[in-house]
Every structure is written in structure tokens, then in C-alpha cells.
Chains A and B, each alone.
Chain A
Amino acid sequence: MITKAILKTENLNIGYTSKKSKIDIASNINLELEAGKLITLIGGNGIGKSTLLKTITSIIPALSGEVYLSDNKIATYTPESLAQYLSIVTTEKLPASNLTVSELIALGRHPYTNWIGNLTENDLNHIQNAINITNINHLQFKKYSEISDGQLQKVMIARALAQDTPLIILDEPTTHLDLFHKVAVFKLLKKLANENNKCILFSTHDIDLAIQLSDEMIVMTEEFCIQDQPCNLIEKGVFDSLFKDENIVFDKQYGKFIVK
């Protein structure tokens, strides 16, 4: 099975299992994530976006089906080797600490450093590179608790960059940001995908921006999960079925949702 996809899912069923019951969230998901592409994941609240991201990042197990990372089953990777393929940016709040921005980014080098975590010249280069690309030079000596949400989001992206993985997965990186910072994060991720040849997947509720800037989109609804280029999705009328409310309609001409 040879594809150029970095990550691929085959008939993936996702959900949670507990001792007594199995909760299905979404089924039959077939995705292919390729290098150099910015891919956004959209869908209503509670539809299972986070569950999907957690499943393909191996945080929770799949109910059935397979996730392939570089043509190998993701379960065959050790945590250490997985950390060199895949980095994440989550919505979870960081525990309070005295970490500075550059120390936080340096933690991204963990999978490569020795037992005590000493940074080599190469590690320092990667860290500086991540700081330069995300344009946060002015923040690096500040404590991360002292910077704004928008700045912190960039720092977390820089941390994932320092981890130097072909695939970066982000869970709602633009939530809580104003339009200016949303656009900045979108543009940054777009640049990383197109210029640095990363494969970037992230979930978002900013559908208008996603349509304008993503190379591909994954749309999740209760009935289906489809992956395609934004223009094709518009033509197929996929967005019309995104929200089950007659008052929200998708305007094909402007590529955005309108409230009647």
C-alpha cells in the first residue's frame, strides 16, 4: 500500500468505550493527509471533531478501522518514534509554571535530546528557526503566563514546529482569538504547510476563513465525513447540510454562511 499520504485512515470508526457500553460517535471515516497541505476540519459542536483528532493522534483508541502513519499502522509506533512524526497543539490550559517562552518551545525538542534533556547546537537551531518562522522573537524571554492568548497560540505552534514533525495536528487553534489574530494564525499555518512542506490538520469553527485559506477541508456531519477541496465542496452543496437550521443558509457566490 504505497501512497504519498503521511496519514491515512481506513474505515475508521471513532467513539468511546467504557466497561459496559460503547458510544459510537462517527463511523466509516476515510481520510488522506498529504504533505504541503493545509487541511481544516469543520463540523458542528459535539459532532466528534475532537474525538477524531484524538483518535488519529493515538490519544484514544479507534473502535474499529485503521490509522496509517507513513504506511505503517499507528499502533506499531513507540511513543518516542510517534513524537518524531506527529506534534499536537491542544485547547487544554497549561498548568501554571515559571516557564519562559523559549523554554516552552525548547520542550518540543524532547524526542531528540539525551536522558537529561541537554540541548545540542542542532536543537538550538531548530528552536531559533521555530521562533523566527512564527515571528515571536520579541516574546522569547517572557514567561508564557504573561503573554496574550493570541501570542500564546503562536508560541504553541512554534513548540510544535521545534518538534520537527512532518505532521502537525491542532485542535481549534483560532478559538478565543479576535479576527486579526485568527487571520494571523491561519496565514501562519498556511505558510508552514505550503512553504515548509508540513502537513497541517486543524479543527475550526471559522468556516469562512477555512474556505478561503485551506487547501482541503474535512466536513463532518452526523451522516457523513467528507474530504475535498473547498471549491468542490461548495459545488457539491456539502455546506448546506452542515447545520440543521433553516435560518442558516450557505451563499455559494460569496462562500459564506448567511442568517436569514
Chain B
Amino acid sequence: MSTSDKNNKLYLTLFSVLVLAFICNLAFGNVMIPFSDVCKILATQSHEKSTWLYIVLDYRLPKALVAILTGVGLSISGLIMQTLFRNPLAGPYVLGLSSGASLGVAIVIMGSFLLPSFIADFLVNDYGILFGAFFGSLLVLILVFFVASKLKDTMSILIVGLMFSSLTSAIINVLTTFSSAEKLQKFTFWTLGSLGNLNKNQVALLTIVVLVGLLISFTIIKPLDGLLLGENYARSLGISIKKTRNISILATSILAGTITAFVGPIAFVGLAIPHMSKLIFQTSNHKILFMATLFLGAITMLVCDLISQMPGQSFTIPINAVTSILGAPVVIWLIIRKKGIR
């Protein structure tokens, strides 16, 4: 059929763009490295210029991988949430996960006086923030699961998630009032997000977790298609709403929770990418949208990271600022052009 031909062409285009974005991401930055040399380094793992070898393999390659994992994970969570809540403005963070993570990190950085001293001492290292973010989002996840089990209406979970967000940001505001400028700065840096601060073990861990989250997401492609008709029709087709809802929340939490813990809260990607996929492929079929979202998520984060490196300049701008500056206009444009929001 002609539609599948068209889709295959689009996949091919996206794949080429992805490869291009990946190589550009490795080539451009503070130090410019020619494409041919990047390819040579990737292929042979050796180069006469040891600084280039170091920059590509030890710095830019892990960062590019993290960018891909982040883009893919957040975008897929956004896609799931938009279908589950039948709300085009839902994203991975509607469940309040990033607020939970922020609260965890805020407590670790600024509220250590609240914790017993042996825990506070334990958390004063690089992994402290990771722990804080992870347990923060885990706590919110457990609360959301608890509330979801009491509620029949999927829509109300959305509101509960928003309430959690407000609550946690209020607590964070209180904490900032009592903290020193230095701690406040450290917290602010975390909220700006960073793709490049992960060591090899952390990148490996993130890769595994994102793959697990994606595998779980793949199992609900079919029920998500059924949910396009609304919950009653979906039920009449033999779909268990509760099971689908729980798997969706689980997959989103694993993906968005872990990604936020490792790279900080990354705005807009999860919201905007699923819409881009829907606009480009003009479909609601989740099999196609999942593929499209994987490609577009990876490409977008690689490009955003490229911009944040400010090629040729000696400084970088925070990744969360780039995604917001690019993402906000996209979302506004989508809302104005409401036909595209499906």
C-alpha cells in the first residue's frame, strides 16, 4: 500500500538525519573535528591526535549516547501519556515525576539539616543527587499508584499529578528560603540539566534502564491503539483499562524517573516530540508513532545538545534552556494550529 511506502521513505529519511545529527554532535563543539576524522576515530578507535581521540571517545560519545537515550525515553513516555490521558498537552511529567525528583534533589542539596547526620554524610557525594532524584520520583510514583488504584477516572490522575507538582515546588520554595547561596546555586545547576556529567558505568546503567522501559512500553502498543476510541470502546474490545493504565505509569516512571535522576529535568521534549511524529506521519497508529518518536526524540536531543555546545565558542549553554527555547514555540505553534493536535 502507498502509505507504507511513504512511511518507509520517512523512516529512511529520519534514519539518515539521525546518523548525520550523531556525527555532527561528535564533530562540533568547542574544538571542531572534521567529519572524516570522527568517522576514523569511531571505526578504528585510534587517531594520531590523542586529544581528538580523547574528546570524541571519552567525552562526546557518551554524551551523544545519553542525549539519544534521553530523547527516546522522554518522547516515548510523552506519547504514552498523551494517549492514556486523551490529552494533547500531557507529557512524561504530568504524573509529577520531575517535581518528585526535584524535591529529592532539593532535600539532598539544601535540606540536609533535616536529615539524620549519618544519612546527610552519606549523601554528600556525586551519587547523593542521583539517590535524591530517584527516590523523589519513586515516592511520587508510589503516591500516584496509590491514588490511581482508588480512582476509576483516568482524567483525575492527571489532576492529582498536577497537585503533586504544585505541592513539591512549594516545599522546594520553602527550602530555598533557608539555604545558602552556594547550595542554591548547586540546586539551580541541577535543574538546568546536563548530559555530559555521567561516567561510563552510569551511561551503561542508564542504557539498560531505558531499554527495559522501552520494552515495557512496546507491550502496550495494542491497547493504546484501542484507547483511541475512548475507555468504554476499549473495554468492549477486551482491553483491561486498569492493566494498561498501570503498565503505562510504570513504563513512564522507569523512563522519565531515571532520566531525570541522571540528567536533570529536561523540559518540552516529552510533550513536543510525539506531536511532531503525529504531524509528520499523519497517523494515530501507535506502531508507526513509536518508531517515529524513537527517531525524532533521538534527533531532537542530539540537535539540542549540539546547540548547547555552541560550536566554535568556548562556553556552553544549559541543555534545559535549549529544549525550552526550541520547545516552547513549537508547542505554542501546535496549539494555534490546533488541527495538528490529535
Contacts and interface: CB of A to CB of B under 8 A. Distances in A.
A84 B238 CA distance: 8
A139 interface: no
B238 A117 contact: no
Interface stretch (B99-107, B138-146, B161-169, B283-291): B283-291
Given A88-B233, A98-B342, A99-B228, A111 B238 contact: yes
A46 interface: no
B237 A104 contact: no
B233 A115 contact: no
A127 to B, nearest CB: 13
A57 B236 CA distance: 8
Given A79-B235, A83-B238, A163-B237, A92 B222 contact: no
A205 interface: no
A98 B278 contact: yes
Contact of B238 (A82, A93, A145): A82
Interface in A42-58: 57
Given A88-B233, A115-B222, A117-B221, A95 B228 contact: yes
B16 interface: no
B222 A96 contact: no
Q: Which of A59, A90, A97, A113 has the most CB of B within 10 A?
A: A97
Contact of A107 (B219, B226, B287): B226
A110 B284 contact: no
Given A116-B221, A117-B221, A83 B237 contact: yes
A215 interface: no
Given A103-B285, A115-B219, A117-B287, A97 B342 contact: yes
B34 interface: no
Nearest to B341: A96
Contacts of B222: 110, 113, 115-117
B285 A80 contact: no
Interface in A128-149: 145
Contacts of A99: 228, 284-285
A192 B30 CA distance: 71
B290 to A, nearest CB: 10
Interface residues of A, number: 33
A36 interface: no
Contacts of A230: none
B-side binding surface: helix, strand, loop or mixed? loop
B77 to A, nearest CB: 19
Contacts of B173: none
A22 to B, nearest CB: 18
A2 interface: no
B239 A110 contact: yes
Interface in B280-321: 282-285, 287
A166 interface: no
B86 interface: yes
B40 to A, nearest CB: 40
A107 B284 contact: no
B237 A90 contact: no
B225 interface: yes
Contacts of A94: 228-230, 233
A219 to B, nearest CB: 26
Interface in A73-94: 78-84, 86-88, 90, 92-94
Contacts of B233: 88, 90, 92, 94, 107
A173 interface: no
B202 interface: no
B232 interface: yes
B45 interface: no
Interface string A152-176: 0000000000010000000000000
B284 A98 contact: yes
B188 interface: no
B246 interface: no
A98 B283 contact: yes
Interface in B225-257: 225-226, 228-230, 232-233, 235-240
A152 to B, nearest CB: 12
B221 A79 contact: no
Contacts of B240: 79
Given A81-B238, A84-B238, A110-B226, 14 more contacts: A80-B238, A82-B238, A83-B236, A88-B233, A88-B236, A90-B233, A94-B230, A96-B341, A97-B284, A97-B342, A98-B282, A103-B285, A110-B239, A117-B225
Interface of B: 86, 88, 218-219, 221-222, 225-226, 228-230, 232-233, 235-240, 278, 282-285, 287, 341-342
Q: Which 8 A-B pairs have the closest CB atoms?
A: A83-B238, A117-B222, A97-B284, A80-B238, A110-B237, A98-B284, A95-B86, A79-B238
24 contacts: A79-B235, A79-B238, A83-B238, A84-B238, A86-B236, A88-B236, A90-B232, A90-B233, A94-B233, A95-B86, A96-B88, A98-B278, A98-B282, A98-B283, A103-B284, A107-B225, A107-B233, A107-B237, A110-B226, A110-B238, A111-B238, A113-B222, A116-B222, A117-B287
